[in-house]
Amino acid sequence: MATQPNAGRVGAQRRIETSADAQPAGRVGAQRRIETSTDLDTGSTPSAPTRSAEAGSTPSAPTRSAEAGSTPSSPTRSAEPVPARSAAGGVSRRGLLGLLGAGAAGAAVGAASATGITMAATSAMAGTGSGGGAASAYPFFGAHQAGIVTPAQDRLHFAAFDVASTLDRTGLIELLTEWTDAAARLTQGLEVEEGGAVGGSDYAPPADTGEALGLPASGLTITFGFGPGLFTDASGADRFGLAARRPAALESLPRFQGDALQPERSGGDLCIQACADDPQVAVHAIRNLSRIAFGRATLRWSQLGFGRTSSTSTAQATPRNLFGFKDGTANLKAEDGSALDDHVWVQSADGPAWLAGGSFLVARRIRMIIENWDRVQLGEQEQLVGRSKGEGAPLSGGTEFTEPDFEATGATGTPLIDTKAHVRLAHHSSNGGARMLRRGYNFVDGNDELGRLDAGLFFLSYQRSPEQFIAVQRSLAADGLNEYLKHVGSAIFAVPAGVREGEYVGQALFA
């Protein structure tokens, strides 16, 4: 059993006092109080207003995260602004500043799946996001990490880190503990630690960078993963005594058709995925977690994303990628607990025991050759994808969610869905039943020296085994879309199960 650093505080009840006492001019963040108690697991989950891919509406939808079994809270509008309470029992940044309230609405309860998903809806603040409205806060603690089957938010900041060569096992545990404490606060709309951006000494750097002051939680989720290099480094050294506990499947992915991987955009010992409905909230999270890691882990690469390219709940409309097509129509959904157990969550029998309830994450930066694609005729675009561009229906007929008929032929006997169409090759019937939960984002990172957009898909998938992704990717070697795609970044991570109060992320790995 590994010695735990700061044993007295790891399992301690954490409190941050929120005081309405008058603060000196310019001091926004009063002392806050968070009680990390057993009530947090039954705290709030936000409503999920959805965005139509065809229209600009943002209707409220009855969804909730499968990661935590709690009921939602929502700020209410009154004659006097009422501070929004966070799921941790504290007051959010929005509440502290007395900003806009939101209309309250009723909650709807749906069926629970095998993983204990309960669906509830409240009307939160109207916003462009699909993860639950501007003031929403998802619980950080739960059986699974948030940010996997949580209704996909509209913004992403993803970061991969390399652990410092001087860090030892105790230092790594301390880093994970500090990250856990900070993430639990940030996801509830609070500053990274007590004192925050403006409450500390005038003669010391602020504890929080401050760009999220006045902003609500915005559905922020923070998800952590461990890369192959955490278990053995490039030289084969077992720096942290973890080599024997490395999952057998956690190894660098094989080379695939279309790979043009750049080392500076690939790999990593640790990863953090921050998703939110406000880009500044997501960036604030990664910035402050990176700051905490100073001297212990360095940022290897990062990626900003927008406009989610998959829906993870039946209440969410299917979004579109930068090719203009609906993306993720057949994605796994949070409401299908049986499918999640089969395809997403690592089971106890899979091994290793510490990863049970977790998942494997594959990240791929896929550059789209936008300029070439924009010159392709509509009919050819649809043939390459295998779906209509407007409705998203399979070319074999029906509507968006009609199951494709790969045997259907036209008058000349030619398959209605081409043999090299993306929808055919990616379908589980072409890959031995392999499925995965996709959670990707669009990106546009300026342009190259020739004036071409550096844009595409930041592909993220969660699966019970990396073999599921490998099977699908090998099938896609014949995909007609490959002419317009270039894979420039790749990474794989083991994502531990959810965090219990008083513990740190991945604690079972070090037991």
pLDDT at 195: 83
The owner of tokens 């949580």 is 150
pLDDT at 258: 86
In sequence order, what are the residues at sequence separation of 6 or more whose Cβ sits closer than 8 angstroms to the Cβ of residue 47? Answer: 60, 61, 62, 63, 72, 74, 105, 120, 121, 122, 123, 124, 132, 133, 136
Cα separation values, 175 from 133, 163, 296, 383, 508, Å: 31, 10, 8, 50, 15
pLDDT at 238: 97
Taken in order 201, 205, 206, 211, the sign of the CA dihedral is positive
pLDDT at 135: 64
Strands 453-463 and 441-447: antiparallel
Helix (H, G, I), strand (E, B) or coil at 379: helix
- The 3 state secondary structure assigned to 280-337 is HHHHHHHHHHHHHCCCCEEEEEEEEEECCCCCCCCCCCCCECCCCCECCCCCCCCCCH
Burial of 263 (0-12, 13-18, 19+ CB in 10 A): exposed
Burial of 464 (0-12, 13-18, 19+ CB in 10 A): buried
Amino acid at 35: E
pLDDT at 290: 99
pLDDT in tens, the chain (511 residues): 444 444 433 333 333 333 334 343 333 333 333 333 333 333 334 444 443 333 334 444 333 333 443 333 433 323 333 333 333 334 444 343 333 333 333 333 333 333 333 333 323 333 333 444 556 899 999 999 999 999 999 999 999 999 999 999 999 999 999 999 999 999 999 999 988 999 999 999 999 999 999 999 999 999 999 999 999 999 999 999 999 999 999 999 999 988 999 999 999 999 999 999 999 999 999 999 999 999 999 999 999 999 998 899 999 999 999 999 999 999 999 999 999 999 999 999 999 999 999 999 999 999 999 999 999 999 999 999 999 999 999 999 999 999 999 999 999 999 999 999 999 999 999 999 999 999 999 999 999 999 999 999 999 999 999 999 999 999 999 999 999 999 999 999 999 999 999 999 999 999 9
In the chain, where the domains are located: 155-509
Q: 495 phi and psi, to 5 degrees?
A: -105, 110
